[in-house]
Amino acid sequence: MIRYALKCDRGHTFESWFKSAEAFDALRAAGHLTCAECSSTDVHKAIMAPRVASARAEAVPADQTDDAKAAAFKAALAQMRKHVEKNATYVGGNFVREARAMHLGDAPERAIYGEAKPAEAKALIEDGVPLMPLPFLPKSKVN
């Protein structure tokens, strides 16, 4: 089904639904379209703004709205943080030293996490030290 804004030769405007664009053309050619106000058969399509439905509103289920996605993302980050904190040792500002020592074999390998400045992390990566930035900030201590 398609909806058209229509206009007669006397300036009256109205809307109507048609099975298809071809159906509109066939009805118009046969003179079966009439103005809703004056019954004129000289009816043609009027300029109209198309109804553009937001693909987001129609295609995104309610549980996938921006708010729901943000909440799911935050929950996933919290779960990741909990896993890291449970399974790795926090070494704080000693991360670079500890990671390099493990890489060189000077310290036993273990899962660690901590802080490193961007330049320090880049140097570790360039030296072949395997590391992965974590997408969360360290917890700050509150009195």
Kindly tell me if the per-residue pLDDT of 90 is higher than 80. yes
Q: Per-residue pLDDT averaged across 107-117, rounded?
A: 93
Closest CA to 45 of 22, 24, 31, 19: 24
Q: How many CA atoms lie within 13 A of 45 on its CB side?
A: 14
CB 116 within 8 A of CB 132: no
State the residue for tokens 């006397």. 10
- Find the farthest-apart pair of alpha carbons in the chain and give their distance in angstroms, rounded: 95
Q: Which pLDDT score is estimated for 46?
A: 85
Q: Which pLDDT score is estimated for 65?
A: 72
- DSSP annotation string for 16-55: EEES-HHHHHHHHHTT----TTT--S-EEEPP-------H
DSSP 117: -
Domain positions in the chain are: 2-45, 63-126
Q: How many residues does the chain have?
A: 143
Q: Which of 42-46, 54-58, 68-72 has the highest mean pLDDT?
A: 42-46
Q: Which pLDDT score is estimated for 55?
A: 56
Cβ count near 76 (within 10 Å)? 11
Cα distance between residue 115 and residue 103, in whole Å: 17
Q: Which pLDDT score is estimated for 62?
A: 56
Residues 1-53 pLDDT 10s:
788 889 999 999 888 888 888 888 888 888 888 887 888 889 989 877 666 66
Judged by average pLDDT, the poorest of 17-21, 56-60, 87-91, 92-96 is: 56-60
Cα distance between residue 71 and residue 42, in whole Å: 56
Kindly tell me if the per-residue pLDDT of 73 is higher than 70. yes
CB 99 within 8 A of CB 124: yes
* pLDDT bucket at 127, cuts 50 / 70 / 90: very high
